Amino acid sequence: MNRLSTAGTGVIIAALTIAATIGYRPFPLAAQDPAVAPQGYHFEGPRTPADFPRWIADMKRWRMEYLKRIGYSGSEYDRPELKWTQSSFMQPQMMIEDRYFFDPAAGKYTVDRYLDDLEKRYGGIDAVLVWHTYPNIGIDDRSQFDHFRDMPGGMAGVRQMVADFQRRGVRVLFPMMLWDQGTRDFGMAESRALAEELAEVGADGINGDTMAAVPREYRLASDKTGHPLAFEPESLTVDEALAWNNMNWGQATGPATGGGMLPVPQLVSKYKWLEPRHMTNISDRWQRDKNVDLQYAFFNGVGMETWENIWGIWNQMTPRDSETVRRIGRIERQFAANLVTADWEPHTPVLQTGIYASKWPLVDPAGGRTVWTIVNKNEFDVAGEQIEIPGKAGQRYFDLWHGVELTPAPGRGTSMVLSFPMEASGYGAILAIDASAVNAVLNTFLAGMKTLSAKRLDSFSKERNVLPQTATAIAPTKPAASSPAGMVRIPGTSFMFEVSGIEIEGENQIGVDVQYPWENVARRAHRSTVQIGPFYIDRYPVTNAEFRKFLDASKYSPADNHNFLKDWKDGNYPAGWANKPVTWISLEDARAYAHWAGKRLPHEWEWQYAAQGSDGRVYPWGNQWDPAAVPTPDKGRTLTGPDDVTAHPRGASPFGVEDLTGNAWQWTDEYSDDHTRAAILRGGSYYQPQGSRWYFPQSYRLGEHGKLLLMAPAKDRSGTVGFRCVVDAQ
């Protein structure tokens, strides 16, 4: 038997030390020759009902051995302050730009409006993931922590918003972007910064974006604040971290659009089996028919990520899925105590083919009760005898899905058979309970389910609701007879307008990017001939000196002034910045300047025509990239500031318009639907944060544009976004 050298031993000890520091074991051990074993996140069930006794015995044996092998402790699940996670079944990811969440005109969070909508459509939620960063992060050097503090009202406003959710019984999580290493250094470890930040506002948990596990150091940092947080990685794959990650997302358990990913038989959740108190919220963001995911959740006693606003793209759950969420959510909340039992038996035998059941027994001082959650994988209704269970004197039986009492029929020996109908691709749930434990609370619940189930799920539409977008009108100016000072005349034309959005996600899903006035839906790629009248456009973007004149003359002061001219000091721009494009101004600020000047902001196609001319060139100066035509990119962690607007004459367009690309983004049109507002930015900027593909992408090509989600001026203002104006011509 070979011995390790001293040097080799030292390497292994060092590796183990590092692993212990981050909370991971580097060498997870698998059980030897297991009779059952997980396939990724899941277990397959027994092949036949006759195989169940051996299968469940093997499952329990595997669990016992594997938990020992990973040194598992369930102490984090015993903590009273974290037990809310065990019944947090329905959780949406909510974009802070959602118009149901914040009213920019009133400058107020509208938590009640947001929650009332969800109550009405699918029965409400148990927790919410408040998303405040991506896809806007990286537009400038603000880190995830800066974006948090830039939310309207600052920390005090966020604290009140969190309290408004909690007043309605909804727990609040915020995301952590471990990949955010290219923006401003916040000056302390992310674990400490996040723990202190969320403790200050009274939040309940952290979602680890793109993470396989939230490292243990976050558990330690959170506990140190005296305000312990729950952790929810995006995809829990580090088994040892199950001990302190009380929640996780379960990714893509159902068929993707256009094809199936899983076999028909119902799968068992690996982490739910290992720790029945662990909460998984199934997340399948782009899925349009979530029934496979919902059946998985109900069978496994877990929840759903009811995510509809995906980076400003509205993917609303269908009426059928919404009604399913309403009904399974009511059952799961009512019997949450059953759904964390270590005596859970998935794939408990049933009598009909294509029906799958989980048994959840619970004994408590108020009387024993057992719940079965059941799914019908058949494409047809199944009625009659469904399940045979052991008989017990003094028990009553209820069909929870339909809200009615069941009369058992004699089975084999002392067993009893329960009969009830199940809808095609539908659901069922039954309850066996001591007669003495039947009370008014249960009767009220049954009455509610009876009312809901009077309407079949298949009577609800499976059609997706696609939201139309509208453009915010830009009023024409008084036509100018001659060229105003500092402006260039652009002749009217019939312009072939071709442009595509640069969104990182969404591919070519309906709703990605924007819907122009001549289009029927929002889409990523656009091509249309646009009639453009003659106009004048600023040769250069509006500078700090020009904006100073506006302020002096108009006495303009925005109602929401957070981040307004953030790079100015004591009411003036820094020395040497007079001829740089003004930034840290919102779309509303830019419109105010334009109105004062007798001008307006350009439509995007006007901006592109002024930059491109009629030959379809790639850049304002031609078809080849010219580094001398733009500022040198800034790839550091803090903004250094744009160049003077006159610094790069080689970047001029065919009409002589300058500083169009690569210095500062420029505001153009605004689009909105019922849930989201967004502005189209043109030209790109000099700032390129490094280290992640998730930062706001650049668009230097004239056939591309950026889309910035809008919430409130405090959040929308950026150190890389400026503007230029136009005037209509006679």
What single-letter amino acid sits at 232? E
What pLDDT is attached to residue 8?
35
Q: What angle do CA 624, 627, 631 make, to 5 degrees?
A: 135
What pLDDT is attached to residue 257?
35
H, E, C per residue of 301-333? CCEECCCCEECCEECCCCHHHHHHHHHHHHHHH
Residue 678 included in any domain:
yes
By the 8 A CB rule, do 667 and 683 touch? no
Residue 720 included in any domain:
yes
Tens of pLDDT, residues 471-489:
999 999 999 999 999 999 9
DSSP class of 468:
P
What pLDDT is attached to residue 11?
32
What pLDDT is attached to residue 17?
35
Among 298, 254, 269, 290, residue whose Cα is nearest residue 427: 298
pLDDT > 70 in the chain, percent: 93
Mean pLDDT of the region 351-363: 95
Residue 675 included in any domain:
yes
Number of domain units in the chain? 1
Pick the range with the lowest mean pLDDT from 34-48, 277-291, 316-330, 642-656: 34-48
Tens of pLDDT, residues 392-439:
889 999 999 999 999 999 999 889 999 999 999 999 999 999 999 999
pLDDT at 567 over 60: yes
Distance CA 596, CA 600 (A): 9
Going from the C-alpha of 399 to that of each of 330, 364, 421, 428, 447, the distances in angstroms are 14, 21, 9, 8, 11
Residue 721 included in any domain:
yes
What pLDDT is attached to residue 41?
87
What pLDDT is attached to residue 350?
97
The residues, ordered by sequence, that sit 6+ positions from 152 with a Cβ below 8 Å of its Cβ are: 102, 107, 109, 560, 562, 711, 712, 714, 715
What single-letter amino acid sits at 559? A
By the 8 A CB rule, do 140 and 718 touch? yes
Q: Give residue 49's pLDDT band: very low, low, confident or very high (50, 70, 90).
A: confident
What pLDDT is attached to residue 253?
54
CATH number of residue 619's parent domain: 3.90.1580.10
- Give the long-range contacts of residues 67-71, CB within 8 A, separation 24 or more: 67/274, 69/28, 69/29, 69/30, 69/31, 70/25, 70/28, 70/29, 70/239, 70/240, 70/242, 71/25, 71/240
By the 8 A CB rule, do 534 and 485 touch? no
Tens of pLDDT, residues 499-557:
999 999 999 899 999 999 999 999 999 999 999 999 999 999 999 999 999 999 999 99
pLDDT at 52 over 90: yes
By the 8 A CB rule, do 665 and 541 touch? no
What pLDDT is attached to residue 14?
34
Q: What secondary structure does DSSP assign to 218-281, as a single string?
A: HHHHHHHTT---EEEESS---GGGGGT--EEEEE--SPBTTB--S-SSPPEEHHHHH-TT-EEE
pLDDT: is 19 or 294 the higher one?
Answer: 294
DSSP class of 538:
E
Retrieve residue 326's tokens.
């309403």
Pick the range with the lowest mean pLDDT from 32-46, 285-299, 321-335, 635-649: 32-46
Phi-psi region of 679 (alpha: psi -120 to 50; beta: other; left: phi over 0): beta
Going from the C-alpha of 35 to that of each of 43, 57, 61, 254, 492, the distances in angstroms are 12, 10, 9, 26, 76
Q: Give residue 233's pLDDT band: very low, low, confident or very high (50, 70, 90).
A: very high
Residue 697 included in any domain:
yes
What pLDDT is attached to residue 366?
62
pLDDT at 217 over 80: yes
| Bridge-based pairing state of the strands 303-304 and 279-283 | parallel
What pLDDT is attached to residue 252?
56
Distance CA 673, CA 522 (A): 10
Count the Cβ atoms, other than its own, within 10 Å of residue 1. Answer: 2
Mean pLDDT of the region 169-191: 96
Among 543, 506, 516, 500, residue whose Cα is nearest residue 699: 500
What pLDDT is attached to residue 251?
75
What pLDDT is attached to residue 365?
65
Residue 536 included in any domain:
yes
What pLDDT is attached to residue 9?
33
DSSP class of 610:
H
DSSP class of 631:
P
Please state the pTM of the whole predicted model.
Answer: 0.93
Among 346, 304, 299, residue whose Cα is nearest residue 326: 304
What φ, ψ does residue 604 adopt, rounded to 5°?
Answer: -60, -40
pLDDT at 3 over 90: no
Distance CA 182, CA 654 (A): 36
Residue 243 included in any domain:
no
What pLDDT is attached to residue 265?
80
Residue 621 included in any domain:
yes
Count the Cβ atoms, other than its own, within 10 Å of residue 264. Answer: 10
Instruction: Write down the mean pLDDT value for the chain.
Output: 93
DSSP class of 463:
-
Tens of pLDDT, residues 620-640:
999 999 999 999 999 999 999
Distance CA 416, CA 413 (A): 9
What pLDDT is attached to residue 2?
35
pLDDT at 7 over 50: no
pLDDT at 13 over 50: no
pLDDT at 297 over 50: yes
What pLDDT is attached to residue 34?
55
Mean pLDDT of the region 456-479: 96
Going from the C-alpha of 677 to that of each of 354, 472, 473, 491, 550, the distances in angstroms are 45, 10, 14, 31, 27
Structural domain that includes position 578? 470-728
Q: Give residue 492's pLDDT band: very low, low, confident or very high (50, 70, 90).
A: very high
